[in-house]
């Protein structure tokens, strides 16, 4: 009954039920408590009633979400501020079934106000998902420029994921020019290599942006830099049949006779 009252923001009924001894932490068949529904309905008053009744803010539903996780889609600053009065009791490191803690959930939902607020509370934005992705990696993958700008100012931009990719690597590979500009302004390391030894030039040659590629040419004097299998950027461009990049590399006198670890020249990979 308390859950139904919370779903309908029936505050008087909730107060009466709690006085009669209703369990404020009772979960329905999906694992949701009255507090979960209070956040979904964005009712500060219901949250206040449940908080006064000492509801547990860390109970997870069947999707692994706590009430704090559910702040992400609401992007409701006032509601977040009310819930986070209980900050010492909140377990901000709890993961949902997607491997997201509340902060990363806010990034995934593009909830800029929630992310900014969590940072203001002192949340550590270097926390990673199960795939070792930081919030900044995720913001770049989602091409959310305001989020990228916020997170790039807040923590080390050179953290890498399981593939050895930094946020800059992802932005270069996906041809997200604005993200590349922001990250370079925040001193992202253009000399980083991924787990296969690919340089940013290798990755730019497989990417989608001619502007980013030209920018990489300005930073790489050696166009024949090798990855862990001895491939040059020209090898990768030929393998992808990217004629524009191949033409550009050849015009800049990249070595067309370079052999990889399998003795293949770039032309042989096409």
Mean pLDDT by 10 residues, the chain (270 residues): 94 95 95 96 94 93 96 90 85 91 94 93 83 91 97 87 96 97 96 97 95 95 97 97 95 96 94
Please give the pLDDT value at position 155: 66
Tell me which fold the domain 213-270 belongs to.
1.25.40
Cβ contact 148:139 at 8 Å: yes
CATH class assigned to 1-123: mainly alpha
Give ranges for CATH 1.25.40.20 in the chain: 1-123, 126-195, 213-270
Task: Specify the 3-state DSSP secondary structure of 260.
Answer: coil
DSSP string spanning 8-24? TT-HHHHHHHHHTT--T
Rounded to two decimals, the pTM is 0.88
What dihedral angle (degrees, nearest 10) is formed by the CA atoms of 228, 231, 232, 236? -120
* Residue from 202, 197, 235 nearest 217 by CA: 202
Please give the pLDDT value at position 156: 83
For the chain, the first-to-last Cα distance in angstroms comes to: 67
Q: Is the dihedral of CA 151, 155, 156, 161 positive or negative?
A: negative
CATH number of 126-195: 1.25.40.20
């Amino acid at each position: 009954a308390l859950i139904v009252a919370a779903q309908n923001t029936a505050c008087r009924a909730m107060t009466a039920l709690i006085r009669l001894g209703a369990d404020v932490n009772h979960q329905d068949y999906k694992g949701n408590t009255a507090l979960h529904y209070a956040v979904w309905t964005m009712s500060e008053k219901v949250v206040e009633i449940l908080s006064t009744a000492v509801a547990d803010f860390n109970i997870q539903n069947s999707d692994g979400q706590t009430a704090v996780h559910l702040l992400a889609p609401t992007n409701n600053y006032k509601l977040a501020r009310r819930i986070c009065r209980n900050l010492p009791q909140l377990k901000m490191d709890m993961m949902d079934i997607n491997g997201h803690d509340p902060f990363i959930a806010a990034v995934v939902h593009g909830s800029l106000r929630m992310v900014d607020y969590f940072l203001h509370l002192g949340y550590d934005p270097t926390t990673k998902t199960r795939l070792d992705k930081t919030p900044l990696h995720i913001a770049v993958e989602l091409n959310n420029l305001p989020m990228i700008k916020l997170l790039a100012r807040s923590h080390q931009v050179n953290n890498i994921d399981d593939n050895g990719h930094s946020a800059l690597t992802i932005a270069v590979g996906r041809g997200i020019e604005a993200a590349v500009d922001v990250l370079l302004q925040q001193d992202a390391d253009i000399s980083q290599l991924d787990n296969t030894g690919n340089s940013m030039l290798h990755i730019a040659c497989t990417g989608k942006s001619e502007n980013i590629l030209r920018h990489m040419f300005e930073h790489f004097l050696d166009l024949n830099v090798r990855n862990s299998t001895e491939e040059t950027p020209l090898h990768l461009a030929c393998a992808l049949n990217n004629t524009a990049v191949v033409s550009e590399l050849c015009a800049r006198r990249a070595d067309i006779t370079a052999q990889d670890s399998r003795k293949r020249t770039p032309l042989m990979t096409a």
